[in-house]
Chain A
């Protein structure tokens, strides 16, 4: 579970972020199960698993860091969070929406979905995209998916 194996992670470069929020739309689309982006998103509130923070001077996208030692997993009162091969996942069948994971995530990376239960970035590995849609859709290369020196 907690190997030293290098895992690819999503990193952001705030100096490149335009604050365009496209990552949020691409995320919501990738996780919608729809094949048409307009059908999936038009006229609906979106609940992406990545969000843009910042202000006038800087912006950057925040999503799950897939920590090596995830405090959300250790804190979940429903045993709904798991960590396998570098991916932290949440089982929505088990989640009761208590938001303890929101209370403990030191990155402010987690938010509930439309139904009040938690959802989170699972790197698009299980959806039709197969790789993070926020990364491939970023127009300025401000979100990357790679192995780097950092560890969480």
Chain B
């Protein structure tokens, strides 16, 4: 009987469990979980603060998931070292675990820059875990002022989650625009206006020079008073275990399309892994939840002796702020085609006859058709893309392709 060990208990681990069990019903699976919770939907912590969900509904899988899957979970345990030669994982408190196949699904950790005076701030938080959300929930009231450092996805979802719980919210970022990892300047400005209309104040191209208990002295000389500080500057892949074991790492743990690391019996998946971005061909850490699951599943299948490949990962995000829907995917390179009106906008990036990326504000109907053009690398000459730009529709595909999609016909070409 094979022994599987998974470091981490997030969505990549859940995918890994399901991948293993799709082939091997008998092998032993042990999950090392630092957090004291069953796998939950991490991106939902802002919805929790908005009271749109609760810990029970935030479960990623059914309550009997581990039992049904025959998985032993070591809660509150931490992996401290991997010995890839002896195939052994050392633990902080328990006996070492031996494995036949290991998956490092250790996730990422919030990155806290060395701000001067940060140690004087008492009420400071990250916004990354369920416990972070619980702690913020306890500390908030309508009189309090919040300063969020970082106008990325985490910082802004935190702002949305806290808006109705606190007095006022200021978000600062060194970048000249919000959501700089997924939006261009024009679209960022549009989303920023919407957030401002919903009571969020921004200080951009500006960060904190120094903290003094309840005050942040900004680089431009402004003083921002606050009661609660949220640090959402960014996250870093937890690659250290593999790195210290002598495995190949870059920004994250290097993996191939089978999610295998430089050690044959060690796989990696999720926010700690650096795979290939199919929209540009480069190695990147794609720290998004769909990717975590699919990488985890792929790793699991291969750990169980199968041969699965996940080679069409692309960056993509569907995110909403106060009712405004934003969808982005792929890489922003090549010719830009834009279409916008009062209701929203569509921006497409086209290069060498392929759709490479898009940004949709509000106009998100059937967006998956656009995503599939990127992910499946469909040559635009094979479809009526002029029509697609206006409205996502499979009517822009060939009749044969449509019949494969909807008519139950096999093997038709695009």
A85: CB under 8 A from chain B? no
Known A-B contacts A2-B22, A150-B409; A104 and B395 likewise in contact (beta carbons under 8 Å): no
Which residues does A use to contact B, with CB under 8 Å? 2, 9, 11-14, 53-55, 58, 60-62, 65, 71, 74-75, 77-79, 93-94, 96-108, 110-111, 116, 148-151
Asked if residues B410 and A150 are in contact (CB atoms below 8 Å), the reply is: yes
How far apart are the CA atoms of A102 and B47 in the complex, in Å?
19
Interface centre among A65, A77, A106 (most CB of B within 10 A): A77
Chain A residues within 8 Å of B406, by CB: 11-12, 14, 60-62, 65, 107
How far apart are the CA atoms of A55 and B387 in the complex, in Å?
11
Chain A residues within 8 Å of B317, by CB: 103
Chain B residue nearest to A143 (CB atoms) is: B406
A-facing mask of B253-297, CB < 8 A → 1, else 0? 000000000000000000000000000000000000110011001
How far apart are the CA atoms of A123 and B297 in the complex, in Å?
28
Chain A residues within 8 Å of B376, by CB: 106
Which among B318, B375, B394 is the interface contact of A102 at CB below 8 angstroms? B318
Asked if residues A79 and B60 are in contact (CB atoms below 8 Å), the reply is: yes
Which among B41, B371, B394 is the interface contact of A78 at CB below 8 angstroms? B41
A-facing mask of B320-333, CB < 8 A → 1, else 0? 10010101010000
Asked if residues A98 and B318 are in contact (CB atoms below 8 Å), the reply is: yes
Q: Which 8 residue pairs spanning A and B have beta carbons closest together?
A: A108-B366, A75-B290, A150-B408, A105-B368, A106-B372, A148-B408, A79-B60, A11-B408
| Residues of B93-137 whose CB lies within 8 A of A | none
Interface-facing stretch out of B51-59, B141-149, B184-192: B51-59
How far apart are the CA atoms of A148 and B406 in the complex, in Å?
11
Asked if residues A96 and B53 are in contact (CB atoms below 8 Å), the reply is: yes
Which among B59, B318, B405 is the interface contact of A79 at CB below 8 angstroms? B59
B365: CB under 8 A from chain A? yes
Asked if residues A103 and B364 are in contact (CB atoms below 8 Å), the reply is: yes
Asked if residues A79 and B407 are in contact (CB atoms below 8 Å), the reply is: no
Chain B residues within 8 Å of A75, by CB: 289-290, 293
Known A-B contacts A96-B47, A150-B410; A74 and B368 likewise in contact (beta carbons under 8 Å): no
How far apart are the CA atoms of A58 and B387 in the complex, in Å?
14
B336: CB under 8 A from chain A? no
Which among B290, B318, B364 is the interface contact of A74 at CB below 8 angstroms? B290
B316: CB under 8 A from chain A? yes
Asked if residues A106 and B52 are in contact (CB atoms below 8 Å), the reply is: no
| Residues of B24-72 whose CB lies within 8 A of A | 41, 43-44, 47, 52-53, 57-61
How far apart are the CA atoms of A93 and B47 in the complex, in Å?
13
Asked if residues B368 and A108 are in contact (CB atoms below 8 Å), the reply is: yes
Asked if residues A74 and B410 are in contact (CB atoms below 8 Å), the reply is: no
* 7 A-B contact pairs sorted by A residue (CB < 8 Å): A79-B59, A93-B57, A99-B318, A100-B318, A107-B368, A108-B367, A116-B323
Query: What distance in Å separates the Cβ of A64 from its nearest Cβ neighbour in chain B?
Result: 11
| Residues of B376-408 whose CB lies within 8 A of A | 376, 392-395, 399, 402-408
B245: CB under 8 A from chain A? no
Chain A residues within 8 Å of B47, by CB: 96
Using A53-B394, A75-B293, A98-B43 as known contacts, list a sample of 19 further A-B pairs with CB atoms less than 8 Å apart, ordered by residue number in A.
A14-B402, A60-B395, A78-B44, A78-B58, A79-B60, A79-B61, A94-B53, A96-B44, A96-B53, A98-B319, A99-B367, A102-B367, A102-B368, A104-B368, A106-B368, A106-B369, A106-B371, A149-B409, A150-B409
Asked if residues B369 and A108 are in contact (CB atoms below 8 Å), the reply is: yes
Query: What distance in Å separates the Cβ of A114 from its nearest Cβ neighbour in chain B?
Result: 14
Query: What distance in Å separates the Cβ of A41 from its nearest Cβ neighbour in chain B?
Result: 22
Known A-B contacts A74-B297, A79-B41, A94-B53; A107 and B405 likewise in contact (beta carbons under 8 Å): yes
How far apart are the CA atoms of A111 and B394 in the complex, in Å?
15
Chain B residues within 8 Å of A102, by CB: 318, 327, 364-368
Query: What distance in Å separates the Cβ of B290 from its nearest Cβ neighbour in chain A?
Result: 4
Chain A residue nearest to B392 (CB atoms) is: A108
Chain B residues within 8 Å of A101, by CB: 368
Which among B395, B404, B405 is the interface contact of A55 at CB below 8 angstroms? B395
Chain B residue nearest to A144 (CB atoms) is: B408
Asked if residues A60 and B402 are in contact (CB atoms below 8 Å), the reply is: yes
Asked if residues A150 and B404 are in contact (CB atoms below 8 Å), the reply is: yes
Asked if residues B402 and A103 are in contact (CB atoms below 8 Å), the reply is: no
Asked if residues B368 and A103 are in contact (CB atoms below 8 Å), the reply is: yes
Query: What distance in Å separates the Cβ of A145 from its nearest Cβ neighbour in chain B?
Result: 11
Which among B15, B22, B327, B395 is the interface contact of A99 at CB below 8 angstroms? B327
Chain A residues within 8 Å of B325, by CB: 99
Chain A residue nearest to B326 (CB atoms) is: A99
How far apart are the CA atoms of A139 and B22 in the complex, in Å?
42
Asked if residues B365 and A53 are in contact (CB atoms below 8 Å), the reply is: no
How far apart are the CA atoms of A103 and B371 in the complex, in Å?
7
Asked if residues A103 and B369 are in contact (CB atoms below 8 Å), the reply is: no
How far apart are the CA atoms of A124 and B219 in the complex, in Å?
60
Chain B residues within 8 Å of A93, by CB: 57
Asked if residues B394 and A62 are in contact (CB atoms below 8 Å), the reply is: yes
Query: What distance in Å separates the Cβ of B105 from its nearest Cβ neighbour in chain A?
Result: 15
How far apart are the CA atoms of A46 and B369 in the complex, in Å?
23
| Residues of B142-158 whose CB lies within 8 A of A | none
